[in-house]
């Protein structure tokens, strides 16, 4: 796909992966509408892209808010060719320690928010025979103790993309799902600042080649959009995890954890439950969005 002149809408576009992806698309000649709940931030990010781009306030958990922003983008651009459903939050605690409302809120943003985004934009993408990229995670492939809400929501996004892909075949619309590893965005920075143990964990992941910068992630997103890719893996070698998926969920893997990793897993879960800035509090800040200042909102995470 030639990106010159393409009309792109990205949720969670105020910062992080969404903002960097928008910059790369703008450099390739696309017109970009950024949607984000942080109104001032998304307006600033859009202004930095230069003339012809939009920064619109929208909440992916509010259909009326999304519909208004989508209509504004369509009116300005004359349609949409590409939609990137990127907005998301992270929640890290074990099931016994997780607040029920925080768990539900994570699913509402990460999964139902993707559905609302696609539902609001799909008629315009059908009209242009365009492309939809929904952002899942490697958490949809690799089991993540302590990340039940995040993993469940991102697995749901993957399943949603698979169903949508089949539904869109008659309309000649391509659908892809993105599966990033740990991306060093603002959210990761916030959590590692609050926990030296988590900071060490992220450092180990980086040394093992399992973490990527937002710039690296965005470059692969843009590559996937060009190719109208079915799946986008970040890093690209993570496709191996897809092939190993049956092993990761096998009885043999469970036995390996039980015999060699149980004590380490227990210590890891204690660290996660003890994070002072863990996302239940951050996610619950979204429960009453009109009463919360923009700086208190969870930042996009992949």
Residue 160 CB contacts under 8 Å (≥ 6 apart), including other chains: 111, 114, 115, 118, 134
For 41, 81, 94, 249, 261, the CA distances from 266, given in Å and listed in that order, are 39, 47, 11, 19, 9
Q: Which residues of 71-82 are buried (b: 16+ CB within 10 A; e: fewer)?
A: ebbbeebeebbb
Which residue intervals of the chain are DSSP H helices?
Answer: 16-27, 39-49, 63-77, 100-107, 113-128, 148-168, 186-194, 196-207, 214-227, 239-243, 245-248, 251-256, 262-273, 279-284
* Integer Cα distance of 172 and 128 in angstroms: 9
- Answer for the pair 149, 200: CB distance below 8 angstroms, yes or no: no
Q: How many beta carbons lie within 10 A of that of residue 187, not counting itself?
A: 22
Cβ–Cβ < 8 Å for 125, 173: yes
Determine whether 131 is an active site residue: no
Q: Which phi and psi angles does 205 have, rounded to 5°?
A: -60, -40
Alpha carbons 274 and 291: distance in angstroms, whole number: 27
* Tokens 């949409």 belong to residue: 80
| Active-site position among 131, 150, 233, 249 | 150
Which residues are catalytically annotated? Answer: 150
């Amino acid at each position: 796909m030639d990106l010159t002149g393409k009309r792109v809408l990205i949720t969670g576009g105020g910062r992080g992966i969404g903002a960097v992806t928008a910059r790369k698309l703008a450099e390739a000649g696309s017109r970009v509408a950024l949607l984000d709940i942080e109104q001032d931030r998304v307006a600033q990010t859009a202004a930095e892209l230069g003339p012809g781009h939009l920064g619109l306030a929208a909440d992916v958990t509010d259909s009326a808010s999304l519909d208004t922003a989508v209509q504004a983008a369509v009116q300005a651009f004359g349609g949409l060719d590409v939609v990137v459903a990127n907005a998301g939050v992270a929640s890290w605690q074990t099931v016994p320690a997780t607040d029920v409302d925080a768990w539900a809120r994570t699913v509402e943003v990460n999964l139902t928010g993707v559905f609302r985004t696609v539902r609001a934009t799909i008629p315009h993408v059908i009209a242009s025979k365009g492309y939809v990229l929904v952002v899942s995670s490697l958490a949809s492939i690799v089991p993540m103790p302590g990340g039940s809400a995040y993993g469940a929501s991102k697995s749901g996004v993957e399943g949603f993309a698979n169903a949508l892909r089949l539904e869109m075949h008659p309309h000649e619309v391509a659908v892809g799902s993105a599966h990033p590893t740990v991306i060093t965005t603002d959210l990761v920075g916030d959590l590692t600042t609050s926990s030296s143990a988590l900071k060490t964990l992220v450092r180990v992941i980086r040394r093992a080649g399992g973490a990527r910068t937002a710039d690296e992630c965005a470059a692969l997103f843009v590559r996937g959009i060009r190719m109208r890719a079915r799946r986008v893996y970040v890093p690209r070698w993570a496709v191996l995890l897809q092939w190993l998926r049956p092993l990761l969920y096998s009885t043999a893997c469970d036995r390996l954890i039980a015999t060699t990793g149980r004590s380490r897993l227990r210590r890891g879960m204690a660290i996660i439950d003890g994070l002072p800035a863990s996302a239940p509090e951050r996610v619950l800040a979204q429960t009453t969005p009109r009463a919360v200042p923009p700086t208190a909102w969870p930042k996009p995470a992949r």
